[in-house]
Structure 1
Amino acid sequence: MANTSGSVLTLGETMGLFSGAQTGSFAHVAQTTIGIGGAESNVAVGLARLGIPVSWVGRVGDDSLGNRVVREIRGEGVDVRATLDPDVPTGLMLKEFRGRGTSRVTYYRSNSAGSRLSPADIAAGVVENASLVHLTGITPLLSESARRTCLSVVRRAHDAGVRVSLDINYRCSLAEPGVAAEAIGEVCGYADLVFGSPEEIALVSPVSQLREGTSFGTTSAEAIAGLVRSFDPDGRREVVVKRGAFGATSVNGGASVTAAGHTVDVVDTVGAGDAFVAGYLSGDVQGWTIEQKLARANACGALMCTIPGDWEASPTPAELDEFLDSGADPVQR
């Protein structure tokens, strides 16, 4: 039976992160800063800062970057269940700042420790004792063993009555659209709550023509509702369509709620989607209304954009209250 304590389980690859200390290409930037980043652990940190019990499962190399990953995530109050792999290294990503609010991320994760995630890494009871399991579409594209792990986890969750959340989070560098649609779609079949941009929702939609060169732009409410109906014709899922600065729309059982985004001085957009998801899930496991969940999620995503880093700006409840009480002005005076 599913746990009702509000605890969340997430799993995936977290890597070492080297970011340029100045704006420019690594062909010329002289210094970098070292950190960590990974979509699922970003969400875990965001949840922990919002007071939600959360566990993260992953594999890292038995190396200095792997040790840093474990220490940093655990230091944020996340229950870390990491396997140290002595045979392959921790994955690495490089982030170049090309201009204010614009960055380029390059991944070095082929045959990394994280890509070797296997069903055996997910201990007995860890899925069954959660109230919600959160995955992204990144993990099933890392390797065949990672794909099997995701399917094993969502099937275990389904059998135990544990709700499943999936952020599609498509990475074109990992797989071309047809391959990604199949792999992510398998996992999506078990999801109760799905996050994605309009393009990502279209990617995994059973209506294949939506995958072929569709451009959604700002996307009207009517277009979003039609897209969600194509993706989820039975209306059995809660589908959250992320639209960046334009806000987000949640569709549940045919009912649609839209919340506007916030205008902030954007420094770094990486991790904003993960912060949004953490905000939404924090309200979800506490039984909040859709309106309340969207309001928190949009504020979390906006605040994440104001500081460099994949997770460092994940807000606490006090910081969210301060931001919203100020009229969503990120400058506190």
Structure 2
Amino acid sequence: MPQLITIGETMAAFTPNTPGPLRYVQGFGIRTAGAESNVAVGLAKLGLNAAWISRLGDDEFGRFIRNQLRAEGVDCSHVIFDPDHRTGVMFKETGVGETKVFYYRENSAASHLSPEDLSPALFEGVRMVHLSGITPVLSESCLAATRAAFALARQAGSLVSFDPNIRKKLWRGQDFVPLIRSLTLQSDIVLLGLDEAETLFGLRDPDAVFDTLFRDGRARYAAIKDGGRGAWVADGASRRK
């Protein structure tokens, strides 16, 4: 049984071999791209038994993603191959000091993740469940699956780790701030950027952000990232940069 579970979409990511507009690119490399599966890979590299749960299309890109993550030591035995929906893909465009990303993930297999894909048995003996703010904004069924994951983790006595991972490009003009804020405050372990803290709580002072997470939420541990300037971490009793 896995010690840790991550849940969320992973796409096939195409990176151009040369910089410039994609209309002029003749070749691409392919890799996996998914915030939650990246966490699973990192945990596996640390020697922990980590599983990744999601939906993939029953297609070549889905098999590629499963094979790549499995080769990194991630348990993919609970991944569902969806025969009716494709694997999401993305393309990067690189230039001087700028990278653009083009998503082709609408109606992807992962956007059909639902509570029915998560059973209480999957959470038995699991120490931590990690999710991000990307999954609940993909679709109504993904939001329901996120809420179910929180509930099942609580029932199993697992810690919930959450990264808001705000991607307004996925919000399609909707305001998901209240939802992401609520999920952040329901989490035991929180990892967020200083800019995300300002978006969610209107705060940029790290001490004020920690006060909010520990006072108004249920966080036991938190980390606030500030790009190249470093990060602050806290366990509710001690804080350091």
Q: Secondary structure, in 3 states, of the residue corresponding to 2:154?
A: helix
- Residue 80 of structure 2 corresponds to which residue in structure 1? 83
Contact 2:55 2:81 survives alignment (8 Å)? yes
In structure 1, distance between residues paired with 2:66 and 2:80: 10
Contact 1:142 1:174 survives alignment (8 Å)? yes
Aligned-residue sequence identity (percent) comes to 36
Q: Deviations over 1:253-310 (max 9, x none)?
A: 252110xxxxxxxxxxxxxxxxxxxxxxxxxxxxxxxxxxxxxxxxxxxxxxxxxxxx
- Residue 199 of structure 1 corresponds to which residue in structure 2? 195
Structure 2 gaps of 5+ residues are none
- Residue 122 of structure 1 corresponds to which residue in structure 2? 118
Contact 1:9 1:55 survives alignment (8 Å)? yes
In structure 2, distance between residues paired with 1:235 and 1:40: 22
Equivalent residue in structure 1 for 2:138, among 119, 123, 142:
142
- Residue 22 of structure 1 corresponds to which residue in structure 2? 18
Q: Deviations over 1:83-124 (max 9, x none)?
A: 111111100111112236x42212111111010001111233
- Residue 61 of structure 1 corresponds to which residue in structure 2? 57
The answer to whether residue 163 in structure 2 is matched with residue 181 in structure 1 is no
Per-residue deviation, 1:230: 3.5
In structure 1, distance between residues paired with 2:14 and 2:230: 30
- Residue 331 of structure 1 corresponds to which residue in structure 2? none
The answer to whether residue 156 in structure 2 is matched with residue 132 in structure 1 is no
Provide closer, same or farther for how the CA distance between residues 52 and 45 of structure 1 changes in structure 2, counting only shifts above 3 A.
same
In structure 2, distance between residues paired with 1:104 and 1:37: 14
Q: Deviations over 1:205-234 (max 9, x none)?
A: 3xxxx1xxx7x5xxxxxx211233234435
In structure 2, distance between residues paired with 1:227 and 1:77: 35
- Residue 250 of structure 1 corresponds to which residue in structure 2? 233
Per-residue deviation, 1:66: 0.7
Per-residue deviation, 1:48: 0.9
Q: Secondary structure, in 3 states, of the residue corresponding to 2:24?
A: coil
Per-residue deviation, 1:177: 8.3
Per-residue deviation, 1:185: 2.8
In structure 2, distance between residues paired with 1:58 and 1:235: 27
Contact 2:187 2:218 survives alignment (8 Å)? no
- Residue 100 of structure 2 corresponds to which residue in structure 1? 104
Provide closer, same or farther for how the CA distance between residues 71 and 178 of structure 1 changes in structure 2, counting only shifts above 3 A.
same
Contact 1:235 1:253 survives alignment (8 Å)? no
Per-residue deviation, 1:203: 2.8
Look up the equivalent residue of 2:148 and give its one-letter code.
S
Contact 1:168 1:201 survives alignment (8 Å)? no
Per-residue deviation, 1:186: 3.5
Runs of 4+ residues deviating >6 angstroms: none
Q: Deviations over 1:221-252 (max 9, x none)?
A: xx211233234435741221011211110133
Contact 1:8 1:55 survives alignment (8 Å)? yes
Structure 1 gaps of 5+ residues are 217-222, 259-333
CA RMSD of aligned residues (A): 2.0
Equivalent residue in structure 1 for 2:91, among 91, 94, 101:
94
Look up the equivalent residue of 2:96 and give its one-letter code.
G
Per-residue deviation, 1:47: 1.2
The answer to whether residue 211 in structure 2 is matched with residue 229 in structure 1 is yes
Contact 1:202 1:231 survives alignment (8 Å)? no
Q: TM-score, normalised by structure 2?
A: 0.92
